[in-house]
Amino acid sequence: MAFQVTEKNFEDTIKSGKTVLIDFWAEWCAPCKMLNPVIKELESEMDSEKVTIAKCDIQNEQALATKYGIMSIPSLLIFKEGEVKEQIVGVVPKQKIVEKMKPYID
Protein backbone atom coordinates (compact mmCIF):
# COMPACT_ATOMS: atom_id res chain seq x y z
CA MET A 1 0.00 0.00 0.00
CA ALA A 2 1.39 3.33 -1.06
CA PHE A 3 2.04 5.56 1.88
CA GLN A 4 -0.34 8.37 2.73
CA VAL A 5 0.97 11.89 2.69
CA THR A 6 -0.37 14.44 5.14
CA GLU A 7 0.29 18.13 5.61
CA LYS A 8 3.02 17.21 8.09
CA ASN A 9 5.17 15.09 5.80
CA PHE A 10 4.17 16.59 2.44
CA GLU A 11 7.03 19.08 2.05
CA ASP A 12 9.66 16.52 3.08
CA THR A 13 8.20 14.01 0.64
CA ILE A 14 8.20 16.24 -2.43
CA LYS A 15 11.64 17.66 -1.65
CA SER A 16 13.28 14.27 -1.06
CA GLY A 17 15.22 14.50 -4.34
CA LYS A 18 13.26 11.63 -5.85
CA THR A 19 10.56 11.84 -8.49
CA VAL A 20 7.28 11.84 -6.60
CA LEU A 21 3.85 10.78 -7.81
CA ILE A 22 0.97 11.75 -5.54
CA ASP A 23 -2.48 10.33 -6.11
CA PHE A 24 -5.18 12.66 -4.76
CA TRP A 25 -8.22 10.53 -3.96
CA ALA A 26 -11.27 10.14 -1.72
CA GLU A 27 -13.34 7.28 -0.41
CA TRP A 28 -16.50 8.41 -2.25
CA CYS A 29 -14.88 8.46 -5.68
CA ALA A 30 -15.36 5.29 -7.75
CA PRO A 31 -12.87 6.21 -10.50
CA CYS A 32 -10.26 6.72 -7.77
CA LYS A 33 -10.74 3.11 -6.76
CA MET A 34 -10.36 2.05 -10.37
CA LEU A 35 -6.97 3.70 -10.37
CA ASN A 36 -5.79 1.90 -7.20
CA PRO A 37 -4.48 -1.26 -8.90
CA VAL A 38 -2.58 0.90 -11.39
CA ILE A 39 -0.91 2.78 -8.55
CA LYS A 40 -0.05 -0.51 -6.85
CA GLU A 41 1.54 -1.86 -10.02
CA LEU A 42 3.56 1.32 -10.51
CA GLU A 43 4.78 1.00 -6.95
CA SER A 44 6.00 -2.55 -7.43
CA GLU A 45 7.54 -1.88 -10.85
CA MET A 46 9.37 1.38 -10.24
CA ASP A 47 12.74 1.81 -8.57
CA SER A 48 12.02 2.99 -5.03
CA GLU A 49 15.49 4.53 -4.85
CA LYS A 50 14.43 7.01 -7.51
CA VAL A 51 10.68 7.22 -7.24
CA THR A 52 8.20 7.77 -4.41
CA ILE A 53 4.57 6.91 -4.92
CA ALA A 54 2.13 8.25 -2.38
CA LYS A 55 -1.55 8.87 -1.86
CA CYS A 56 -3.28 11.91 -0.46
CA ASP A 57 -6.77 11.47 1.00
CA ILE A 58 -8.36 14.81 0.20
CA GLN A 59 -11.07 14.34 2.80
CA ASN A 60 -8.43 14.63 5.54
CA GLU A 61 -6.06 16.87 3.62
CA GLN A 62 -8.31 19.56 2.23
CA ALA A 63 -5.65 22.22 2.65
CA LEU A 64 -3.27 20.30 0.39
CA ALA A 65 -5.97 19.79 -2.22
CA THR A 66 -6.72 23.50 -2.16
CA LYS A 67 -3.06 24.46 -2.27
CA TYR A 68 -2.51 22.43 -5.42
CA GLY A 69 -5.78 23.46 -7.03
CA ILE A 70 -7.23 19.95 -7.12
CA MET A 71 -10.82 20.26 -8.37
CA SER A 72 -11.34 16.78 -9.82
CA ILE A 73 -10.36 13.40 -8.53
CA PRO A 74 -8.56 11.21 -9.18
CA SER A 75 -5.74 13.66 -9.92
CA LEU A 76 -2.12 12.61 -10.11
CA LEU A 77 0.60 15.17 -9.54
CA ILE A 78 4.20 14.51 -10.50
CA PHE A 79 6.75 16.42 -8.41
CA LYS A 80 10.47 16.92 -8.84
CA GLU A 81 12.49 18.99 -6.39
CA GLY A 82 9.34 20.24 -4.75
CA GLU A 83 7.77 21.52 -7.95
CA VAL A 84 4.70 20.24 -9.81
CA LYS A 85 5.88 19.03 -13.21
CA GLU A 86 2.79 17.28 -14.53
CA GLN A 87 -0.87 16.79 -13.66
CA ILE A 88 -2.97 13.87 -14.87
CA VAL A 89 -6.73 13.91 -14.30
CA GLY A 90 -9.08 10.94 -14.35
CA VAL A 91 -8.52 7.25 -14.90
CA VAL A 92 -5.74 6.72 -17.43
CA PRO A 93 -3.75 3.66 -18.54
CA LYS A 94 -0.58 2.86 -16.63
CA GLN A 95 1.55 3.46 -19.71
CA LYS A 96 0.43 7.07 -19.88
CA ILE A 97 1.48 7.70 -16.29
CA VAL A 98 4.85 6.07 -16.93
CA GLU A 99 5.40 8.24 -20.01
CA LYS A 100 4.61 11.40 -18.06
CA MET A 101 6.97 10.41 -15.23
CA LYS A 102 9.89 9.27 -17.36
CA PRO A 103 11.45 12.63 -18.23
CA TYR A 104 11.74 13.41 -14.52
CA ILE A 105 13.34 10.15 -13.41
CA ASP A 106 17.15 10.38 -13.18
Partner 1 sequence: MKDLIILGGGPAGLSAGIYAARYKLDTMLLEKEYFSGGQILNTWLVENYPGFKEIKGTKLAKRMEEQAKSFGLEIKQEVVKEVDLKGEEKIFKTADKVFKSKTAIIATGSNPRLLNIPGEKEYYGKGVSYCGTCDAPFYKDQEVAVVGGGNTAVDEALYLTKYASKVYLIHRRDELRADRILQDQAFENSKIELVWDTIPKEIDLSEGDKHILLHNKKTNEDKKLKVDGVFVFIGYNPNNQLFKDQIELNQAGFIRKQKLSSIETNLPGVFAAGDIMEKKLRQIVIAAGDGAQAAFEANEFITKTY
Among 47, 49, 43, 56, which residue's Cα sits nearest to residue 16?
49
Return the active site residues.
29, 32
What CA–CA distance (Å, rounded) separates 35 from 90? 9
Nearer to partner 1, 16 or 66 (CB): 66
What's the helix, strand, coil split of the chain in %, to 5? Answer: 40, 25, 35
3-class state of residue 4 by DSSP? strand
User: Is the distance from CB of 80 to CB of 16 less than 8 angstroms?
Assistant: no
Stretch that binds partner 1, among 12-20, 35-43, 78-86, 97-105 (CB under 8 A): 35-43
Backbone angles phi, psi at 93, to 5 degrees: -65, 155
Among 4, 6, 15, 36, binds partner 1 (CB under 8 A): 36
Task: Out of 14, 20, 22, 32, point to the residue binding partner 1 (CB under 8 A).
Answer: 32
Q: Is 71 in the site for partner 1 (CB under 8 A)?
A: yes
**Residue 97 near partner 1 by CB under 8 A:** no
Stretch that binds partner 1, among 2-10, 12-20, 67-75, 96-104 (CB under 8 A): 67-75
Footprint of partner 1 (CB under 8 A)? 26, 28-34, 36-38, 59, 65, 69-75, 87, 89-91, 93
